[in-house]
Amino acid sequence: MTKFSVLILGSASASPTLNRNPTSQLLNINEQYYLIDCGEGTQSKLREHKVKFQRLHHIFISHLHGDHYLGLIGLLQTMHLLGRTIDLHLYGPPQLKEIIDLHLKYSYSALRYPLIFHPTQAVQSEIIFENNQIEVSTIILKHRIPCTGFLFKEKSKPRVINPDAIKLHCVPKHAINKLKNGEDYIVFDTKKVIKNEVLTLKPAKSRSYAFCSDTKYCESIIPQITNVDLLYHEATFMQSEEKRAKETYHSTAEQAAQVALKAKAKSLIIGHFSNRYLKLDNLLNEARFVFKNTELALENSVFEIKETQ
């Protein structure tokens, strides 16, 4: 059973409050970490959760509003001071590089590890990272400045070998990998075909997480996130503030739930709460009225996507 979980490090919108930090989330996919957004205070939150900075290799920044990236420069500096030498991959708007370079220039510093910058563009969705397990693509959001969400998707998993069937049919070791890839087994001397499904079991389903940070209500993202297992969607305001949400290119809790509903998401978490809301029950209820399986993406919460067949 491999892990696929989201740890919430910050749930506040632009103005942090005493209990709510600006946006940041730590994704754990099979013990590989992916940091999404990095508001002020993220390095402290990571320490609080005893996350070793050495284990961070990929950081994704959605857009250049301060509450989504102002903790990044400090985190990069701390990694440098801790003696990091391994690569760090950073994905974000092209101008982020210019900002980092200016900070480094005036602190007379050069990072002693390679910072590999991958500029994103907010025009059309593209795959910005993949390895043998997952694929990350941008989600084009509608915010006041260029802004992308990120869709993390597990790749199709190999079929699972059925050890009893393998034994029964005397399948040799060298044929195993082909079986995992879905091929049938052909007995060497008789040329008899044994169907793959006789020898293997269905693999676990590929899981997916969609991070939709700052955006106004936007149906154009729905095809891309249809059937997503877990959707994070910002919900800065209540529906009573719909006008304000539209003006500021943000969403209401109801709108976030509408997106989840239309995308047939399995579950929804909402965050980026305006500091006008001291209690969040009403936001949650408003979303749940439209999309039942909703939770608040509060600091220190962990949302796990279980493996299913």
Query: Smaller CB distance to its own copies: residue 96 or 265?
Result: 96
Sign for the pseudo-dihedral over CA of 48, 50, 52, 58? negative
52 binds its own copies (CB under 8 A): no
- The residue whose two tokens read 């009573």 is 240
Query: Smaller CB distance to its own copies: residue 75 or 210?
Result: 75
Q: Nearest approach, Cβ of 14 to its own copies (angstroms)? A: 5
Q: Which of 2, 5, 32, 70 binds its own copies (CB under 8 A)?
A: 70
Q: Which of 67, 87, 229, 281 is catalytic?
A: 67
Catalytic (active site) residue 281: no
Task: Please tell me the distance from the alpha carbon of residue 119 to that of residue 91, in angstroms, as a whole number.
Answer: 6
Query: Smaller CB distance to its own copies: residue 35 or 179?
Result: 35
From residue 12 to residue 51, the character string flagging contacts with its own copies as x (rule: CB under 8 A) and all else as - is --xxxxx--xx-----------------xx-xx--xx---
The annotation places the binding site for Zn(2+) at 63, 65, 67-68, 143, 214, 272
From residue 135 to residue 164, the character string flagging contacts with its own copies as x (rule: CB under 8 A) and all else as - is ---------xx-------------------
Number of residues that bind its own copies (CB under 8 A): 37
The annotation places the binding site at 63, 65, 67-68, 143, 214, 272
Query: Smaller CB distance to its own copies: residue 99 or 187?
Result: 99
Residues with a catalytic annotation lie at 67
Give me the residues that bind its own copies (CB under 8 A), please.
Answer: 14-18, 21-22, 40-41, 43-44, 47-48, 64-67, 70-71, 73-74, 77-78, 81-82, 93, 95-96, 98-99, 102-103, 106-108, 144-145
